[in-house]
Structure 1
Amino acid sequence: MDKIAVLIPCYNEAKTIEKVVTDFRRELPEAVIYVYDNNSSDGTDEIARKAGAVVRYEYQQGKGNVIRRMFAEIDAECYVMVDGDDTYPADQVQPLVDKVLNKKADMVVGDRLSSTYFEENKRPFHNFGNSIVRGSINLLFKNDIKDIMTGYRAFSYRFVKTFPVLSKGFEIETEMSIHAIDKNMYVENSVIEYRDRPEGSESKLNTYSDGFKVIKTIIRLFKTYRPLAFFGVIALILAVISGAFFVPIFVHYTKTGLVPKIPTLIMSGFVMIAALQSLFTGLILQTMYAKNRQDFEMELNRVTREARDDK
């Protein structure tokens, strides 16, 4: 097991990868630096290899697929994940590593949003999107992670080996954050500076399509991790709709003894049945979720013992 592993997922980062690898070798001389090339066509892998990194490959396109491969293949006491675009300073990595190794944090978030991100980032919709995602997740999942979508993080062994990677692309950071919150992992924030990409280096993010994927991921994970709240909201909306159609019919019946608009009354009844079905679906899934949480805690204990034995 490595003491520290620096994980750098890369896709066409030839302009910056040498500097990133060199900077992290200087700051963490005891670390093994892994560059996972994701079908680059600009020689990123050879440049990284010459700079001293261990180069491996993931042929399924997408950052989530690369992270899945990294987490499966590498064993370390502390993992540092960083992008290969030189937007995150290597000289601020030590606090992240210290919090994992010395404070037993499971995930340390490199917080860009509390420092220079909004000044450095030249894409206003990215700024807006980061704020919306951070606010919605902290509201829905009752936490205070300062930067949900940062690519600069440190992880413990037990986080990495119990994190089920489901996302294929850039929404992976959102999935990591929600997993840590839901599983009551010890999460720390560490403020870091952020600098925009150097001239000639192009972002792989698409503001709208990737933003839409992130929103879908939040909804999917909210349904998975908070099923009673998710289906309870649907049940409430359906019940309100049913009541809005039923009340006027009921009022008319109390005054005249007649039931007008029979089809509307029938529709109202079916909508109320759907509301009850949604509510009971949430209750059943909430019970299953509670059992999954118990199973996860047992798996977490097993992985923790495994890490202790491997040291």
Structure 2
Amino acid sequence: MKTGDLGELAAFVAIAEEGSFRRAAARLNLTPSTLSHSLRSLEQKLGVRLVNRTTRTTSLTEAGHALLAQIGPAFASIEMAVETINDFRDRPAGLLRMSIPRTVVARVLTPRFRAFADQYPDVTLEIAAENGFVDIVKQGFDAGIRLGESLDRDMIAVRVTPDLRTAVVASPDYLLRFPPPESPRDLHRHRCIGWRQAGSGALYRWEFEQDGRTLSVAVNGPLVLDDPDLMVGAALEGVGLAYATEQYIDDHLASGRLIRVLDDWCPPYPGFFLYYPSRRQTPAALRALIEALKVP
């Protein structure tokens, strides 16, 4: 087999795993047109169509599925074999692709990343700041960060924050206009800032717990957002009640710009975890990042 054939096969594997020419091109650091040319060349050599592509979707043909089943594991083995070379370097190197919620990027990763970059200048971290839950394996990410309760059991998880606590908050001005709720059941009389979950598209039901009792409340209000920081910003402007993470708004609580309500209905919960699929060889760059972010 010629060297060019291996490149075309690698292009096909990337397209198949990413399910998108754009993402596959980014993964291989190629232009989409170059990637399309590689796929066409491979299909011409094999005499069979491997990928069905429309303006909206990319899917494998039956022949494409058969080819991927045979060569996919081989390319994964090659990647792991190349990764073992990192163990012989003075320091880790390479590209890490991660899916992380925007709030976590700002409050967990960014404050620690300068020290990591200074220590490991040959590692490039590429972040997809996404609030919705994604399949990191299907979309070709090396790892992700999500709440521990959201993770599949077959993932390896490492804690990167302590336990967190929810806070229902509003501005002093809002609470002058609307008496504070005494129970989650009172929220139907309030203007609540809704959260549209990016992954599922569903409106999040606010969750509460007290003395072993749990409640989930479908709130209503004049504004629905898909970003926690925007929700806090709206609460600061007096729009309504917001459902936020206590540790991420502590400065607003300390200054009195936000006041919490329903405090006794908001117990701690497990925080965020860095997670990645179980594999025989964890990339050295990922091992280094885990050491930099993990919480004892």
* TM-score above 0.5, yes or no: no
More strand by share: 2
Select the structure that is richer in helix: 1
TM interval, short-chain normalised: under 0.3
Tell me the TM-score normalized by structure 2.
0.27
Output the TM-score relative to the length of structure 1: 0.26
Relative contact order: is structure 1 or structure 2 higher (C-alpha 8 Å, sep ≥ 6)? 2
